[in-house]
Chain A
Amino acid sequence: MVRVPTGADLLCDLLLEHGVEVLFGHPGGAILPFYDALHRKPTLRHILMRHEQAAAHAADGYSRATGKVGVCIATSGPGATNLVTGLATAMMDGVPVVAITGQVPLSVLGTDAFQETDIVGVTMPVTKHGFQINQMSDIPKMLSEAFSLAIEGRPGPVLIDFPKNIQAGMVSPELMTHLSGISLKGQEISDQKTGSKDRKIDSDVFQEVIALLDKSERPLLMVGRGAVEAGVTEQIRDLAERASLPVTATLLGLDGFQAEHRLSLGLPGMHGTERANMGIQNADLLIGLGCRFDDRVIGKVDEFAPKAKVVAFDINPSMPGRTIEPDIFLLGDLKDTLPVFAEGVSRKTHARWWDELKEWSREAEPNVDCSLKPGALGGRQAVRYLTRRVSDSDGIVCTDVGQHQMWVAQELPNVAPRSHLTSGGLGTMGYSLPAAIGAAVGCPERTVWVIAGDGGFQMNIQELATVVQENLGLRIAVINNQCLGMVRQWQESFYDRRYSAVALSGPNLDTIARAYGITGHVVDRAENLEEVLDFVSTEEGPVLLDLRISEEENVYPIVPSGTALHELVKGPSLPTEA
Chain B
Amino acid sequence: MMLSKYALSVELKNEAGALERVLGVLRRRAINVDKLTLSKKTGKVYHVAMSVTDEVVRAGPDRVIKELSNLFVVVSAIQIEDS
Contact = CB atoms under 8 A, between A and B. Distances in A.
A506 interface: no
B43 interface: no
B72 A128 contact: yes
Interface in A316-347: 316-318, 320-322
Nearest to B70: A318
Contacts of B73: 129
B13 interface: yes
B52 to A, nearest CB: 18
A296 to B, nearest CB: 20
Interface stretch (A119-127, A348-356, A381-389): A119-127
A149 interface: yes
Interface in A135-191: 149, 153
Given A124-B20, A192-B44, A129 B72 contact: yes
Given A120-B17, A192-B13, A318 B67 contact: yes
Contact of B28 (A125, A128, A153): A125
Interface string B62-81: 11001101111111100000
B50 interface: no
A153 B70 CA distance: 10
B21 interface: yes
A119 B17 CA distance: 12
B61 to A, nearest CB: 12
Interface string B14-51: 00110011001000100000000000000011000000
A317 B66 contact: yes
Nearest to B25: A125
A316 B73 CA distance: 17
A318 B66 CA distance: 5
A193 interface: yes
Contacts of B69: 317-318
Nearest to A193: B75
Contacts of B20: 121, 124
Interface residues of B, number: 21
Scoring A121, A125, A128, A192 by chain B CB atoms within 10 A of each residue's CB, the highest score goes to: A192
Contacts of B24: 124-125
Contacts of B67: 318
A321 B75 contact: no
A524 B13 CA distance: 60
B2 to A, nearest CB: 12
Interface string A453-470: 000000000000000000
Given A125-B28, A193-B75, A321 B17 contact: no
A318 B44 CA distance: 25
Contacts of B74: 193
A147 to B, nearest CB: 13
Nearest to B45: A192
Contacts of A124: 17, 20-21, 24
A321 B63 contact: yes
A491 to B, nearest CB: 29
Contacts of A120: 17
Nearest to A192: B75
A335 to B, nearest CB: 20
Contact of B72 (A149, A316, A321, A322): A149
A99 to B, nearest CB: 15
A120 B72 CA distance: 14
A17 B5 CA distance: 49
Contacts of B28: 125
A130 B13 CA distance: 14
A320 B43 CA distance: 34
Contacts of A320: 66
Nearest to B11: A192
A132 B72 CA distance: 14
Interface string A205-235: 0000000000000000000000000000000
Interface in A93-138: 120-121, 124-125, 128-130, 132
B28 to A, nearest CB: 6
A255 B76 CA distance: 37
A128 B20 CA distance: 14
Given A317-B66, A318-B67, A321-B63, A121 B72 contact: no
A128 B25 CA distance: 12
A117 to B, nearest CB: 15
A318 B24 CA distance: 16
A531 B73 CA distance: 57
A133 to B, nearest CB: 12
Nearest to A322: B63
B66 to A, nearest CB: 4
Nearest to A196: B69
A321 B66 contact: yes
A153 B66 CA distance: 14
Contacts of A129: 71-73
A564 to B, nearest CB: 23
Contacts of A125: 24, 28
B45 A321 contact: no
Nearest to B74: A193
25 contacts: A120-B17, A121-B17, A121-B20, A124-B20, A124-B21, A124-B24, A125-B24, A125-B28, A128-B72, A129-B73, A130-B17, A149-B72, A192-B13, A192-B44, A192-B45, A193-B74, A193-B75, A317-B66, A317-B69, A318-B67, A318-B69, A318-B70, A320-B66, A321-B62, A322-B63
Given A318-B66, A321-B66, 11 more contacts: A124-B21, A153-B70, A192-B44, A192-B45, A192-B75, A193-B74, A193-B75, A316-B70, A317-B70, A318-B67, A321-B62
Interface of A: 120-121, 124-125, 128-130, 132, 149, 153, 192-193, 316-318, 320-322
Interface of B: 13, 16-17, 20-21, 24, 28, 44-45, 62-63, 66-67, 69-76
Nearest 9 pairs of A and B residues by beta carbon:
A318-B66, A129-B72, A192-B75, A318-B70, A318-B67, A124-B24, A125-B24, A124-B21, A321-B63
